[in-house]
Amino acid sequence: MTQPNVTTWRGYGKHEMLVDTNHDEASRIDFMMNLFKHMGSEIWPGHRKLYENKVEPAFKKAHGRKPKDRHEVREVMLDEEYFRLWSMLRVYAQENIYSERRNIVERQLDDLVARAKPRESDKGTVEIDPNFVAPRYQTNLDMHWMPGGYANEVTQDDVAAGAMYDTGGLYVSTGGMFGKYNNGAAYAVVAWIQENFPRLKPKRILDQGCTVGHNTLPYKDAWPDAEVIGIDIGGPGLRYAHRRAESLGYKVTFSQQNAEATKYEDESFDMVLSTMFLHETSNKAVYNIVKENRRLLKPGGLMLHVEQPPFEKIAEPFDQLMKDWDTHNNNEPFWGRMHDMDLEDVALRAGFKKSDIVQTFAPTVTPTESDKYNRGNGQWFMFAATK
């Protein structure tokens, strides 16, 4: 079994924007990471036992059939203390790690803001639009309980949201499974593209919803001569991403834009990509984004969005419910609806041909020092189309 290569916060990938943490802060981050792992490995499996041994038999007895979908499973699981307790603990853990991260970032925010400022020696650029209006599906809530979400700015040239995101966010909740730079998703994208489209040699790549660029920079590793651009609606993440990329030696452009309607010309990209992005938008936005993607692609170009699998690809209603947890508990209201969407219809309406649309699974990647493409145990869902 492949094991994640980082198991403590002190082992997290260093760069110039990374916050300083004292002993207690680092210990608390490690405690939360281990709590998430414990919940996943020790408590989570109890749900299946409970469901198979008690909840499903009781449902069958009462209705003469099994629950038909995740909504019916949820209704009966909500009566179970074990399920409710697990949910409460998971929400507590999420809120707790955010309040920890917020304190860490706040006490050094002035310093982080100063560090992020563009310098003459920079290779790449960051473009912030002073008149930018972020979409309401992002500004109307604190996405996955992140205080202020991605777009909120609390100070001049703010980087707080970016710093909070990178201070043990996904790293804590996934137990380091995406590697010490949190970039395993992009290496999974690269591996899949190189295997399935070996002749594609992109000159220009767009990464949408790039946040702090975790999964933007690996595209430069894979295709060093390509121009790589990361866009996002959140200025704080982009400023942070810029300095992070510079200090790690990458030349990338980060730009504040809405992926639904970008400033780029028709047919100006060879690849338009995203990782863990679509589920944080809206139904209408997904249609707009895919349409915009087709407009941006050169003939022969590739669109690829990486997500969790749609519910229709998950056979058992119980497993569907467990994948739907974030909709009800993690302040991610579009999560469930997005995973119910007919993505083929989305791509067809954007103008892609049926024969050019791909929906498939690909292995996760946990990069290690010696192998950036080290395959993990999990699976990503790939929604792709060529023009």
Applying CB under 6 A, the residues found at the interface with ligand SAM are: 135, 138, 150, 185, 208-211, 214-215, 231-234, 237, 258-260, 275-277, 280-281, 285
Q: What's the min distance (Å) between Cβ of 185 and ligand SAM?
A: 5
Strand pairing of 297-307 and 357-365?
Answer: unpaired
The burial class, CB within 10 Å (0-12 / 13-18 / 19+), for 300 is exposed
* Nearest approach, Cβ of residue 264 and ligand SAM (Å): 13
Of the pair 73, 193, the CB lying nearest ligand SAM is at 193
Provide the minimum distance between the beta carbon of 349 and ligand SAM in the complex, in angstroms, as a whole number.
18
Choose between 229 and 343: whose C-beta lies nearer to ligand SAM: 229
Min CB(275)–ligand SAM separation in Å: 4
Cα separation, 285 vs 248, in Å, equals 33
Smallest separation, CB 205 to ligand SAM (Å)? 13
Q: Which CB contacts under 8 angstroms, 24+ apart, belong to 3-8?
A: 4/175, 4/176, 4/177, 4/179, 4/366, 5/176, 5/179, 5/180, 5/366, 5/367, 5/368, 5/369, 5/374, 6/171, 6/176, 6/179, 6/180, 7/33, 7/175, 7/176, 8/33
DSSP letters of 275-296?
ES-GGGS-HHHHHHHHHHHHHH
Q: Residue 55 or 271: which CB sits closer to ligand SAM?
A: 271
Nearer to ligand SAM, 138 or 327 (CB): 138
> Which residue lies nearer to ligand SAM by CB, 32 or 306?
306
Distance (Å, whole) CA 99 – CA 86: 20
H or E element that contains 270: strand 269-275
Q: How far is the CB of 61 from ligand SAM (least distance, A)?
A: 41
Nearer to ligand SAM, 9 or 83 (CB): 9
DSSP-derived secondary structure letter, 304 = E
